[in-house]
Structure 1
Amino acid sequence: MNSDLEDGSFQAVFLLLVLALLLLMGFLHVDIELLTPSEVERLPVTNIMFLKTHKTASSTVLNILYRFTETHNLSAALPAGPSLHLGYPWLFLTRYVEGSMKADSLHQHFNIMGNHLRFNAPEVQKVMAPDTFYFSILRDPALQLESAFYYYKSAAPAFRRAPSLDAFLAEPRRYYQGQGSVHDVYARNSMWFDFGFDPDAPAEDGYVRARLAEVESRFQLVLIAEYFDESMVLLRRRLRWRLDDVVYFQLNARGGRGPARLGPRGRARARRWCALDWRLYQHFNRTFWAQLRAELGPSRLRAEVARLRARQRELAGLCLQDGAPQNKTQIQDPGLRPYQSGQAHILGYNLRQDLDNATRLLCRRMVMPELQYMAHLYARQFPEKPPKVMPFLKG
Structure 2
Amino acid sequence: MRSRNLLPLSIGLIVFYMFFLTGIQLGRLDVLLSRRAQSRDLLNQEFKLLRCKYSGGTSCQTTVAGDYSIDRVVAALQDTTTSTEPTATVKTCRADENRDCTETKKIVFIKTHKTGSTTLASIIERFGYTRNLSFVVPPNRKFGPHILSSTQMFQRKMLKNSPPPLNGGKYYDMLTNHVRYNRREMNAVIPNATYLTIIRHPVKHFESSFAYFVWDRIVTKLEGDIDDPIGAFMENPNKFLKEKFYFWWQAHNGQLFDLGIQPSRVDDEAVVDAKIRALNEEMDMVLISDYFDESLLVMKRQLCWTMDDILYIPNAIRSQQFRRYVSKESEEEILDWNKSDFKLYQHFNRTLWRKIREYGPCFDEDLKIFRERRQQVMEQCIAKGKFDRKDPRETRYVLKPKASELCKNLWRGDVTFTKLLRNKQLNGRILHIPKEQ
TM range (shorter): 0.7 to 0.9
Determine if contact 2:134/2:172 at 8 Å carries over to the other structure. yes
- Stretches of structure 2 that go unaligned for 5 or more consecutive residues are 1-97, 430-437
What aligned pairs does 1:1-395 form with structure 2 within 5 A after superposition? 42-82=101-141, 83-97=145-159, 108-130=170-192, 132-153=193-214, 164-177=229-242, 183-201=247-265, 203-294=267-358, 296-297=359-360, 299-322=361-384, 326-328=387-389, 340=391, 345-355=393-403, 359=404, 361-384=405-428
Q: Partners in 2 of 1:156 and 1:198 — Cα distance?
A: 25
Question: What amino acid is aligned across from residue 122 of structure 2 in structure 1?
Answer: N
Q: Partners in 1 of 2:176 and 2:137 — Cα distance?
A: 8
Q: Partners in 2 of 1:96 and 1:155 — Cα distance?
A: 33
**Residue aligned with 1:92, SS:** coil
- Stretches of structure 1 that go unaligned for 5 or more consecutive residues are 1-38, 330-339, 386-395
The structural deviation recorded for 1:372 is: 2.1
Q: Partners in 1 of 2:158 and 2:309 — Cα distance?
A: 28
Match of 2:91 in 1: none
Scaled by the length of structure 2, the TM-score of the pair is 0.68
The structural deviation recorded for 1:301 is: 1.4
What is the CA deviation profile of residues 218-270 of structure 1, one whole-angstrom value per residue up to 9, with x for unaligned ones?
A: 10110100000001100100110111110111113312344443132221111
Question: What amino acid is aligned across from residue 58 of structure 1 in structure 2?
Answer: S
The structural deviation recorded for 1:215 is: 0.7
What is the Cα-based RMSD across aligned positions, in Å? 2.9
Higher relative contact order (CA 8 A, sep 6+): 2
Question: What amino acid is aligned across from residue 412 of structure 2 in structure 1?
Answer: M
Q: Partners in 2 of 1:117 and 1:107 — Cα distance?
A: 23
Determine if contact 1:87/1:93 at 8 Å carries over to the other structure. no
Q: Partners in 1 of 2:221 and 2:398 — Cα distance?
A: 33
Question: What amino acid is aligned across from residue 420 of structure 2 in structure 1?
Answer: H
The structural deviation recorded for 1:383 is: 4.6
**Residue aligned with 2:420, SS:** helix
What is the CA deviation profile of residues 185-227 of structure 1, one whole-angstrom value per residue up to 9, with x for unaligned ones?
A: 1221110000110234264543322111111121011010000
Q: Partners in 1 of 2:221 and 2:308 — Cα distance?
A: 41
Distance 1:160 1:244, change over 3 A: farther
Distance 1:157 1:204, change over 3 A: same
Determine if contact 2:211/2:324 at 8 Å carries over to the other structure. no
Q: Partners in 2 of 1:326 and 1:66 — Cα distance?
A: 23
Q: Partners in 2 of 1:72 and 1:140 — Cα distance?
A: 33
Larger radius of gyration: 2
Distance 1:283 1:95, change over 3 A: same
Scaled by the length of structure 1, the TM-score of the pair is 0.75
Question: What amino acid is aligned across from residue 367 of structure 1 in structure 2?
Answer: W
Determine if contact 1:168/1:175 at 8 Å carries over to the other structure. yes
Determine if contact 2:252/2:338 at 8 Å carries over to the other structure. yes
**Residue aligned with 2:397, SS:** coil
